[in-house]
Structure 1
């Protein structure tokens, strides 16, 4: 089973602050009718007025029109506001410039696709010119420099809004396409963004969070920016200083964002001159990050959901008519209820990012990083088992006769001992595991039958998904340990986990159909697959489990969901002493394979179903082999299916899907060998 991976991206926390001055009489998000072109054109024309006051008014007014609805935005864009607003970024009047930046930020916040047009219209050039001005003003504030004149006072008063809007635009462009990040790199923006994290206690938190989210995106798989960190080792030290500067839950999102950045650049951290040559930098990095990440998980999402519902029904929350999101009226302070809901959004964003980082830590062994599965590296080359040779029927005798082969059982025992002592594994098994179960459990707002707080519901669903992905990666890691000791020594947790997964799936499946619901269900089945592999004979099966999985297969149109269900059925079918369950599943799998020729079964599912057969019916000594495989005529059916499998493999385009074609080729080769093997197995 392949490990579940996902590219970590920063969590978009999209508030929609307007510029510092808002046009009188225009209220954000409450316009009932789409304005007509003759009403909009005069506003757009004022963007080019010789009067700077009119230009500033026009930019602020357009900002509010943007928030009024999709129809109004479409009208504004059709009248060419985008190039006009970008042109205003070089306006010699500060008010006009700042209102234009705020308007551009609002536009991309409600229509992220527009970021691509920002890039194509070279918005980065005027923004690059603006950057040193922002830096200078903020430096003056932080250093308590004397105010030179009234213009300087105005710049200081509005610079935090300007900085946040500036960062948000850069971040949105970076999120839009990896190729745009190369151009952003040339702006030398890293030190600017890090500086906000280092002075998080002196800047508005919204600006610090925007900087952290932006830098998390920019450092995600970005080789060019790694070079900048290598050339400036002080950046790494500054990030570590951020982690130690605050305690407990103080500035928790800032600290988690810093953890994400450090994880993104962990290869640079390892090579950084701040470490000794022989120092286990990545191991120490994990030890330093884990307490912060674990602390961040301590949030009661069930209570948050109930209190959010109460806040939304209080009558003290202003909703956007188009999106249902909270959109407080300009110049009016947030109500206590609105502040609470924003705090819930921020904490859920923190949870999601923490869970993504923890899921990555579970998989670090794949890249040779410091995870709990690389303990054999600590044994030294002369002690480590050689796993480079694949043992098969042709070379197995030669392998065991090779006197140079080490005693793998002894090596595994040493390996197992080292793994058990790993602090990362200890943290996962004792502290993080219970959090994952709690955070993956749906709330009353996660998949509501009636929308109450759409952004919170979506954030809760994503939190459940991230918790399940982390749980899945943890289980996969435990499966990779030869002794699989967690499943034996924490058998009670594992068994309870199986039942909890089924109960949770039933709860989620009863919710209204949505993409979020289906994604969470798929994640649950992935966890069942990994947990079933570890539990093996100890799977606590109930009569309804297999019918539920088979029914979910038939009801789903998702290829990956079907693949995971077939994979999940494998460990269940391999249980001894339950021939009827094996027969139920075996017949189900053979039916899936019979539909290859009619294209009712996709190649991905077919490959997994074939692998199921090779694993489940690999030995005639299994108690279910004769009554199910032999008496059920599975061998004859496989011979009939073989031509369809050949055709399936042939039409799978290697150029378009190399991995799938390779797996299909292997499955076909194994099928031919399996048919021959099963035909001769009982004659030996």
Structure 2
């Protein structure tokens, strides 16, 4: 069937946000889940947001950040009291401390609340005060970097400029993923010079602030042409990103070492540069930005560099060795030793986190997991090596396509005229796939084919990955996304191998199938109860969908002659049909159909009855009375039929004759012509091409000698 690699799914996943379902209660029950003491604390906090004393306003903003931490109920309660509107007003406060704390509270709300909070902020015009904040920060940063002595009036701004910048940068990042309207508005702010200034001066700016700028750049260069064109137009900027990505050698990931406090730097001093994990995080982000902006303009010297082979893969591959089970177990252990933080005291200095050693180590674990998640996201893009799609029908072809399809229909009296039969006899009919040219093998694919053994350990979920409620919500959130991204990278890798005919060792395919099939089987069983706790573990639907995609890609890379070598269980076809019937995701159902078509090619006589069952399943939409379904599923079944019976020399081809498949295809061809005319846009174009291929396939099968004639020819 048609190949489709997963490069992006809408806007990029926010790797910092913890979904509410990991916290033990969803948004629907949020109001009922607010503890009584928290509800009593909200009113005085909201009142002090507009207090005349700047200290009270600062305290109120800091208290909001504390109240909403991993607590969707309190967040919803504050939303109902217009906390977003009041905090946006505080962005124009006369006191620097209030502005910084207000921006931090908005940042935390946007991260925790996701798209809903981002839309509310955008609708309440948060970008206007943020634009003024950028102008103010740019002036202050220019004076600091230029070593201009501070005037007495600007000393407060200088002390707080870096935490302020981190808050604003994160807000831009979150808002850009809210909607296309918000992204367009952010593009209009001309942020590339402001963001790249942090990368260019990274040796003089706190590392956490540079990382925030890189995170914002990574998101804003993701499938955003105006921003991409601006960033890659400067050779200096591209060079700085490359230097940033190559800063130091990446060591294999491990559990040794404890990260420092993830707080804001004091005054203008940067965090120690010897923090290797934060440097690794920056390198991964730089790799992601570079991949987002390629191909580079040919006039730039950097355009001659193979970014994937020379920069991205050497950075990412060592990170794949992080032992998830050990990491997750350590996180749960540390969480049990921590205690809830009280509300900040009035006039407490911003950024004074006072983390315990356990909290510092827990933050380090979370940071490693988030870095691995970003690395896998970038790697999934590297693995998407399929050539760009070409138009399915040119303008000159499209005008006459409908007429050609009408001509394919036989006269109403039935049958074809003698002239047509004579013409078919004189014209040799080639195999429909015989004319497809071989594609040149991308150089990076050989390196990628060695990665499955490193990706597979990241797929089986530790118990904490899908617990609800979770004892460590940020860790659970990161782990769930890591498993998903590892599956997407594997799927893209195998589809690339299939498209370019790159050989995948049989042992690799067997191991991938075994590990991923276990995930599918676990997902089919539904909710699992953890014997050691009162929590439930449920693999989400998107994980099952991604796993099915890997199985399909694995079969595609194996080819028609290798399905028996994968050691697939006897009930595989039946389970795939169940998934196809129960899944609401069209892409997953289509991949199930494609996987079944490959399984149906098995030539072992003991699979004959199962192959017949698969063939009946594939022909079901085309069996009278034919029933319309989605274009994607119709196309999947068409591809499946052709894939399953594309080798007339296979021992399995007897199923084609015993079920009278040629007659079914001949009869379905005319219904498919009419069905495709109902479709619109690209689906209609693809349908036209597929009907043409279906017709060629029927003509080719009709040109083959009968089974008896083939046996006589073999005996002679």
SS in structure 1 opposite 2:36?
coil
Matching residue of 1:210: 212
Find the partner of 1:551 among 553, 572, 578: 578
Residues 621-647 of structure 1 deviation map (CA, whole Å, 9 limit, x = unaligned)? 442333x23323445656776787567
Matching residue of 1:235: 237
**Do the aligned partners of 1:576 and 1:624 also contact (CA within 8 Å) in 2?**
yes
Work out whether 1:617 is the aligned partner of 2:645.
yes
Alpha-carbon spacing, 1:355–1:76, altered in 2? closer, same or farther (3 Å)? closer
Matching residue of 1:577: 604
List aligned pairs for 1:61-460, cutoff 5 A.
61-64=63-66, 70=72, 72-74=74-76, 76-112=78-114, 113-138=116-141, 146-149=149-152, 152-200=154-202, 203-249=205-251, 250=276, 251-267=279-295, 269-275=296-302, 280-281=304-305, 283-284=306-307, 286-312=309-335, 314-318=336-340, 333-364=354-385, 366-367=387-388, 419=441, 422=443, 424-430=444-450, 432-448=451-467, 451-460=470-479
**Do the aligned partners of 1:13 and 1:346 also contact (CA within 8 Å) in 2?**
no
**Do the aligned partners of 1:182 and 1:224 also contact (CA within 8 Å) in 2?**
no
Residue 677 of structure 1: how far off its partner (Å):
6.2
Matching residue of 1:538: 562
Question: CA–CA distance in 2 between the matches of 1:15 and 1:520?
Answer: 18
SS in structure 2 opposite 1:2?
coil
Residues 458-480 of structure 1 deviation map (CA, whole Å, 9 limit, x = unaligned)? 32222122112111211122112
Residues 198-223 of structure 1 deviation map (CA, whole Å, 9 limit, x = unaligned)? 55565444433221111111112223
Matching residue of 1:374: none
Work out whether 1:494 is the aligned partner of 2:509.
yes
Matching residue of 1:523: 546
**Do the aligned partners of 1:509 and 1:517 also contact (CA within 8 Å) in 2?**
no
Question: CA–CA distance in 2 between the matches of 1:459 and 1:395?
Answer: 63
Residue 180 of structure 1: how far off its partner (Å):
2.5
Residue 65 of structure 1: how far off its partner (Å):
5.2
Question: CA–CA distance in 2 between the matches of 1:185 and 1:272?
Answer: 25
Find the partner of 2:36 among 18, 24, 32: 32
Residue 310 of structure 1: how far off its partner (Å):
2.0
Alpha-carbon spacing, 1:595–1:352, altered in 2? closer, same or farther (3 Å)? farther
RCO higher in structure (CA 8 A, sep ≥6): 2
Residue 546 of structure 1: how far off its partner (Å):
2.4
Residue 248 of structure 1: how far off its partner (Å):
1.9
Question: CA–CA distance in 2 between the matches of 1:633 and 1:229?
Answer: 59
Alpha-carbon spacing, 1:474–1:394, altered in 2? closer, same or farther (3 Å)? farther
Residues 365-419 of structure 1 deviation map (CA, whole Å, 9 limit, x = unaligned)? 5249xxxxxxxxxxxxxxxxxxxxxxxx99997999xxxxxx999x96xx86xx4
Question: CA–CA distance in 1 between the matches of 2:675 and 2:14?
Answer: 41
RMSD of equivalent CA atoms: 4.1
The unaligned stretches of length 5 or more in structure 2 are 19-32, 252-275, 343-349, 390-422, 529-536, 710-716
Residue 262 of structure 1: how far off its partner (Å):
0.9
Matching residue of 1:382: none
Question: CA–CA distance in 2 between the matches of 1:398 and 1:641?
Answer: 24
Alpha-carbon spacing, 1:344–1:49, altered in 2? closer, same or farther (3 Å)? closer
**Do the aligned partners of 1:596 and 1:606 also contact (CA within 8 Å) in 2?**
no
Matching residue of 2:497: 478
TM-score normalized by the length of structure 1: 0.77
Residues 233-281 of structure 1 deviation map (CA, whole Å, 9 limit, x = unaligned)? 21111111212333324311100100111111113x3335335xxx634
Alpha-carbon spacing, 1:620–1:435, altered in 2? closer, same or farther (3 Å)? closer
Alpha-carbon spacing, 1:680–1:187, altered in 2? closer, same or farther (3 Å)? closer
Residue 197 of structure 1: how far off its partner (Å):
3.6
Residues 314-366 of structure 1 deviation map (CA, whole Å, 9 limit, x = unaligned)? 2325499xxxxxxxx99652233333332233222222222222222233552
SS in structure 2 opposite 1:122?
coil
Question: CA–CA distance in 1 between the matches of 2:510 and 2:70?
Answer: 52
Residues 532-582 of structure 1 deviation map (CA, whole Å, 9 limit, x = unaligned)? 123232222442332332333334333222211110112221122332332
Matching residue of 1:590: 619
List aligned pairs for 1:3-42, cutoff 5 A.
3-7=4-8, 12-14=14-16, 32-33=36-37, 35=39
Residues 411-466 of structure 1 deviation map (CA, whole Å, 9 limit, x = unaligned)? 96xx86xx48x3x2342233x33222222232232234763333322322221221
